[in-house]
């Protein structure tokens, strides 16, 4: 059992990180070629894109923050926790320090624990929204629930392992396995928006700067 | 007078015996005051069991200027390793993690049986 853990936390971890990065690179390359002949989203990138990306994530800015404040808050909190919890977790950084000699800033473990609980709450909100709101339910398929669950599983198993609820080493095995599962499917499913989001925004930056479509459309920047 | 000594002498011996037994207690509870604000449960460490398996100098060290280990058995790790790493020594936390985990991992990579390598196998929650 501990040998399974050793394999998952060792070679399999490097493998799935590499797989994720290579997958994302391939996806970008594919997207570049794919849009080159059509709408030029990938080739046409403007520097205002980074500003546009920030603008999108900043609360008062984007339209949906005003029209759907609850949803916008849940999505923002969900994404913030999605990154903050694993990246600044003490245990992850201790291992990173051991393996690579580097580490990020580290939260006290009680803070990471709270962030994880907030992640669950925002995730449940997002799921309920898909179940309850008819206009969202109509565009929801099993795949959406699957992806939400897959992204929640590493958090759930990590939470249980940290609190040593259930068989500990098995929980760790599940934790590492589900996290690697997530890494592997990222490039080929909806979570790829982690990458393509910036392309979309960069394209808008290009539109604004080079073609000024927004001002022609009468939208204030 | 004589009766009192007669009673107190064995009592004294008993206390002394109990104290020495406690001092050499097989299982140490590692929870060092040098580490402020413990976040994890303390670690149980079976000194006796380890002595039977590995040499004292694998764990206890007192390096001289030429990095020779002059022994120094029994010196608490905290006399030299502190809350934070500094120019001379790694932090007490790292000292334990690198030494304990390092050996266990090494032994396991050699196919031998060894102790804990995951957080919760050492920092066991009491309930």
The backbone region for B32, taken as left when phi is positive above 0, alpha when psi lies in -120 to 50, beta otherwise, is beta
Say what the ipTM of the complex is.
Answer: 0.77
Does residue B60 lie within any of the structural domains?
A: yes
**What is the number of domains present in chain B?**
1
Q: Which of A6, A91, A108 sits opposite B119 (nearest CB)?
A: A91
Closest residue in A to B37 (Cα–Cα): A108
Interface test mutation site (partner A, options B108, B120, B121, B127, max chain A beta carbons within 10 A): B120
Q: How far is CA A210 from CA A35, A48, A206, A213, in A?
A: 18, 10, 5, 8
Pick the CATH number of A2-35+67-217 from 1.20.950.20, 3.20.20.140, 3.40.50.1370, 1.10.10.10: 1.20.950.20
Q: pLDDT truncated to tens, each residue of chain A (221 aa)? A: 788 999 999 999 999 999 999 998 898 888 777 777 777 666 666 665 666 666 666 655 565 667 788 888 888 899 999 999 999 999 999 999 988 989 899 999 999 999 999 999 999 999 999 999 898 898 888 888 998 899 999 999 999 999 999 999 999 999 999 999 999 999 888 877 877 777 777 776 666 665 555 555 555 44
Q: In this complex, do A168 and B121 lie within 8 Å of one another by their Cβ atoms?
A: yes
Question: Which CATH number characterizes residue B55's domain?
Answer: 3.90.10.10
The model's pTM: 0.86
Quick one: CA torsion of A90, A95, A100, A101, rounded to 10 degrees?
Answer: 50
Contact A191, A26 (CB under 8 A): no
- Among A5, A164, A172, the residue with its CB nearest the CB of B125 is A164
Q: How far apart are CA B24 and CA B46, in angstroms?
A: 11
CA distance A109 to A105: 12
Is the Cβ pair A91, B40 closer than 8 Å? no
CB of B97 within 8 Å of any CB in chain A? Answer: yes
Instruction: Report CB contact under 8 Å: A6, B108.
Output: yes
Q: How far is CA A96 from the centre of its chain?
A: 20
């Amino acid at each position: 059992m501990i040998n399974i853990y050793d394999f998952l936390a060792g070679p399999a971890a490097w493998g799935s990180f590499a797989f994720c990065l290579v997958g994302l690179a391939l996806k970008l390359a594919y997207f570049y070629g794919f849009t080159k002949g059509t709408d030029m989203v990938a080739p046409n990138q403007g520097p205002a894109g980074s500003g546009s990306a920030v603008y999108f994530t900043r609360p008062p800015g984007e339209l949906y923050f005003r029209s759907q404040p609850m949803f916008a808050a849940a999505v923002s909190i969900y994404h913030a926790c999605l990154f903050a919890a694993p990246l600044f977790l003490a245990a992850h950084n201790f291992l990173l320090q051991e393996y690579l000699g580097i580490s990020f800033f580290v939260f006290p473990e009680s803070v990471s624990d709270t962030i994880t609980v907030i992640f669950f709450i925002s995730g449940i909100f997002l799921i309920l929204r898909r179940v309850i709101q008819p206009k969202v339910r109509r565009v929801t398929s099993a795949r959406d629930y699957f992806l939400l669950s897959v992204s929640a599983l590493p958090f759930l198993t990590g939470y249980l392992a940290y609190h040593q609820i259930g068989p500990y080493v098995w929980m760790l095995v599940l934790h590492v396995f589900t996290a690697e599962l997530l890494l592997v499917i990222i490039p080929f499913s909806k979570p790829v928006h982690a990458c393509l989001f910036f392309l979309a925004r960069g394209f808008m930056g290009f539109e604004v700067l080079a073609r000024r479509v927004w001002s022609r459309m009468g939208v204030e920047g | 007078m004589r009766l009192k000594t007669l009673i107190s002498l064995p009592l004294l011996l008993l206390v002394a015996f109990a104290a020495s037994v406690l001092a050499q207690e097989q299982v140490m509870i590692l929870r060092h005051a040098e580490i402020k604000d413990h976040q994890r449960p303390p670690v149980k460490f079976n000194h006796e069991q380890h002595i039977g398996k590995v040499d004292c100098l694998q764990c206890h060290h007192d390096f001289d200027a030429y990095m020779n280990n002059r022994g120094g058995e029994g010196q608490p790790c905290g006399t030299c390793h502190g809350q934070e790493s500094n120019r001379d020594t790694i932090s007490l936390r790292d000292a334990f993690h690198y030494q304990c985990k390092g050996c266990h991992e090494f032994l396991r990579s050699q196919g031998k049986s060894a102790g804990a390598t995951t957080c919760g196998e050492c920092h066991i929650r009491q309930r």
